Amino acid sequence: MDQQRQKCREHALRFGHTILPVYEFEDRAVSGTKLEREGLNAMLEAAKQGKFNVLYLYSLSRLARESVITLPILKKLVYVYGVRCICVIENIDTNTTGWEVIAAIFAAIHEQFIKELSAAVLRGQENALLSGYSVGDWCFGYGSEPVPGTEQSRAGRNSKPRKIYVINQEHAEWVSQIFTWYVDEGISIGQIVKKINHLKAPKDHRSSSKEWHHDLVVNLLSNPKYIGDWPWGEMQNVRNPETGIVCQKPRSEEECEQWKRELPHLRIIDDNTFRLAQEKLDANAQKWEKHRRVNGKFTGSSTETNGRRKVKLLHGLLKCAQCGSPFYSDGKRARCRGGKRGTCDAVTSVPLKLLESMMLEKIGTIILEDNQWFQCVFDDLLKLYRDYENRFPAMIREKERELHQVTQKIERLVDLVEQGDPPEDLHRRLKSRKEEQKEIQFELKQLRLERNHDPRKPSEAWLKERLKQLFDVLKESSPAANKALSALVCGEITLEENEIPLRKRNYFRGIFRLNIRGVSSFLAGTSSSIEGTKQGDEVVIDFIQPDKAGLQREIAKRMYDAEEPEFKIAEALGVSRSRVTKLLDEVFELQGEKKPDGRSRRSQLSVKHKVPPRYQSIAEDVMKLFAQGLLLGRIAEALKIDRNTVTSSVKYWHEQRGLPVPDGRTRRKSL
């Protein structure tokens, strides 16, 4: 790559051009058959904006290795963007006549090279395959080891020995264990995924992540290599020439039959176990067949109803505090991805609506009502404005100085011509200076255009209005809201799982900071740089759903403190009396207090019984006779009750009205 860059620079000097490092584009380790490449896209965007007018390519193949990609891009550069293209190796210059014919020929040659290379690789793999050597297609449970001496028969200066397949005993034990779990113990694939992730089972040498997932286990259980049948070449890569995107398509059975190998010495699983595994997999597939599309994927719910079509407010912002994994959602609830796969102990899920509503409520309180936070944002906006005011004039002055220097150099070269003493490389130097002058003039024009759109100096009233607009955007739960919230929280909200006493389900505590610079940059429409800027205070939100039992405990405790009997509490809650007793026990347990003795408390209550006792229900009748001056014994005879009941009724009637209870002896003497 460095050699190609140097060749382009040397070629540019011959034409009197200078290649600035900022306008050097490259795509390392990316196939030239792909249309979408980062370096290529950046170059095309710069050409579209007119940032350069001459493009040097080491080879036409650096642009692309597909003629249907190369020629359209080349013509767009020349005819649409007005860029002169020069290819060093092929000696193509779009300023010369007939360049299109030459470019078409070389584009076809580069395309053919890729096809021949692909065919040569296939021939080499086929030769090794038929000779009994490894071609790198071993899966989990296997490995390969070199065969000494075989490197002598291979071409090349530093040739390596051929390899053969071997069983990896450590991995093979995991393969046997997975089959045992699935076939003999009847454990589901989802539970197997959790088990092997929890036990930190190793993975295949081609794996791009450390975690196991559902498809990996299914593929392992259905792989015939574990019983000694080794197919090869069942799928082939097919590239879309217009985009470079590669997809796999199956080969015919007749073509694959020639590459099928029987390797009984590599057997890990017996035939019966493998057969039972396939029967279970087939039965499971038939069970869900009606729920799948033609391509095999689940139909699922409608994208209009499951909430996954729109970019949600919290999309990509939630992260597990325990394992660092992102949170995913099914459109209704969010949960830790590691928890689902068994690599994290956080298995609790939380409703998305609860997350969004509580986040909006908390953020709205801060950005609309917190005066201290408002002042910090306002001060940072003023700082950004002053930096902008100081920076742009200085940049414009520097570009004007550079332009003046280049103009003077051009004038001095012209003076030498008029004096009759021109240098030998006058034409090259003059052309180079004019190119430099043109580039500086373009950059100066861009700066002046941007300067004409200077932002106004922010005011407190302007900031308050903008914060209200920002909060309105957040409430929409749209891509714009997600972008705004990401700027507010620096792109991350950490969720920490915590226990709730006396509840089975845990809850998540959200922790984040509202970044001052992120907010001010978002409002000002500038790039955000949080280094050296003040962070807001840590914000903590407990995402806890309203709990029915918790509400019942609260009501029970309030009525208990108001000296209500437990039967009235049970009636108010619509539960049994034993449930009230349990709720009150839990309340005192949560408060770390000892519950008072029930009998002692009841003796102090004004209402002690659900059904009034006899002495209470007849109190009015007793007092009518009592007022007539009858003795207690005569009252008892008249009402056909015990004399002690009459005494209790009189006492109860007076206590209820806050009156002193009359003395029996004193009353009897007065009668």
**pLDDT at residue 533 tops 70:** no
Confidence at 306, pLDDT banded by 50, 70, 90: very low
- As a dihedral over the C-alpha atoms of residue 592, residue 598, residue 600, residue 601, rounded to 10 degrees, the angle is 80
Write out the CATH class of domain 164-291: alpha beta
Give ∠ CA 429-432-434 in degrees, rounded to 5: 110
For the residues 215-244, what does the mean pLDDT come to? 89
- φ and ψ at residue 102, rounded to 5 degrees: -65, -45
Helix (H, G, I), strand (E, B) or coil at 511: strand
- φ and ψ at residue 370, rounded to 5 degrees: -85, 105
Highest averaged pLDDT of the listed ranges 158-172, 236-250, 414-428: 158-172
Do residues 492 and 512 make contact, with C-beta atoms less than 8 angstroms apart? yes
Q: Which residues contact 448 (CB under 8 A, 6 or more apart)?
A: 396
Domain 2-126 CATH assignment equals 3.40.50.1390: yes
- φ and ψ at residue 182, rounded to 5 degrees: -75, -45
**pLDDT at residue 411 tops 70:** yes
**pLDDT at residue 62 tops 70:** yes
| C-alpha of 347 from chain center | 17
Q: For the purposes of burial, counting CB atoms within 10 Å of the CB of 121, is it exposed (0-12), middle (13-18) or buried (19 or more)?
A: exposed
User: Which DSSP letter does residue 298 get?
Assistant: B
Residue spans per domain, the chain: 2-126, 164-291, 311-544, 549-603, 614-670
Residues forming beta bridges with residue 145, ordered by sequence position: 164
**pLDDT at residue 53 tops 80:** yes
- The pLDDT of residue 305 is 46
Provide the whole-model pTM: 0.54
| C-alpha to C-alpha distances, 235 to 72, 132, 135, 247, 251, nearest whole angstrom | 31, 20, 15, 10, 6
Token digits of residue 385: 């404005």
Radius of gyration over every alpha carbon of the chain, rounded to an integer in angstroms: 42
pLDDT digits (tens, 9 = 90+) for 90-130: 999 999 999 999 999 999 999 999 888 888 888 888 888 88
**pLDDT at residue 144 tops 80:** yes
Pairing of strands 507-515, 493-498: antiparallel
